[in-house]
């Protein structure tokens, strides 16, 4: 390096972002994920899709985050998978804070978010890039046999459900794959602690290293065996 010459510093690579149309479809779908966290999820999904393995989401609800996973999967030529029983998590039941009566099936008197999910995917033009699995996460995980490039945990927020999702799906995550956990709140005043405890559990296992965080979204990479 000659005198007076500044050392070379590589130009940071901008995070991948969805098209305006896909972002509008995401923001127009029912759901709770803020746009900033959605963009962080999209960046993680785009990176993980380079492994040429499916991207899996636990907790579909009405498809808001599924739209971003599906778009990342489409670009890489892989498939997005989303698992949900579509009867709503515990905090979405009648009388609770996140209950939406518009997604209650009047014939059976229970929540059914599957029609809203299908409409959202159709509006985004992404139906052909998603496999929707209707069932309870531990049951589906027990019969799943293939490796995954990404596991996004955003299902029930009790310890039972969050740990069940982690224990069921983390073992299927390939080396170098990404584990993404939503609604991680270190301060109990800001939200439930089950996802936070799952995130801490993953780090304590020695099988994962933290990659990034954005608000309540945490991204970890599988670096070794175990859960």
* Residues acting as catalytic residues: 157
User: Could you give the count of Cα atoms lying within 13 Å of 226 in the half-sphere of its Cβ?
Assistant: 11
Cα separation, 146 vs 48, in Å, equals 15
Whether 219 contacts 55, CB under 8 Å? no
Phi, psi values for residue 97, rounded to 5°: -60, -40
How many CB atoms neighbour CB 110 within 10 A? 14
Question: What's the angle, vertex CA 126, arms to CA 122 and CA 130, rounded to 5?
Answer: 110
Cα separation, 184 vs 188, in Å, equals 10
Q: Which of 155, 169, 225 is nearest to 55 (CA)?
A: 169
How many CB atoms neighbour CB 222 within 10 A? 22
Phi, psi values for residue 221, rounded to 5°: -115, 135
Q: Is 212 left (phi over 0), alpha (psi -120 to 50) or beta?
A: beta
């Amino acid at each position: 390096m000659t005198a007076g010459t500044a050392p070379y510093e590589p130009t940071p690579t901008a995070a991948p972002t969805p098209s305006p149309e896909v972002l509008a479809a995401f923001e127009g779908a029912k759901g709770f994920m803020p746009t900033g966290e959605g963009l962080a999820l999209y960046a993680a999904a785009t990176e993980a899709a380079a492994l040429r393995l499916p991207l899996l989401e636990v907790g579909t609800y009405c498809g808001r985050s599924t739209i971003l996973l599906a778009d990342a999967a489409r670009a890489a030529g892989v498939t997005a998978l989303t698992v949900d029983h579509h009867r709503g998590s515990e905090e979405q039941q009648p009388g609770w804070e996140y209950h939406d009566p518009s997604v209650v099936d009047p014939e059976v008197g229970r929540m059914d978010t599957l029609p809203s999910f299908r409409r959202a995917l159709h509006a985004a033009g992404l139906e052909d890039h998603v496999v929707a699995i209707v069932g309870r996460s531990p049951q589906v995980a027990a019969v799943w046999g293939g490796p995954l490039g990404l596991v996004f945990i955003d299902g029930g927020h009790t310890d039972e459900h969050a740990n069940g999702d982690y224990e069921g799906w983390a073992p299927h995550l390939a080396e170098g794959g990404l584990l993404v956990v939503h609604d991680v709140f270190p301060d109990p005043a800001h939200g439930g602690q089950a996802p936070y405890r799952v995130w801490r559990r993953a780090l304590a296992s020695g099988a994962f290293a933290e990659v990034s965080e954005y608000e309540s979204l945490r991204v970890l990479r599988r670096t070794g065996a175990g859960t």
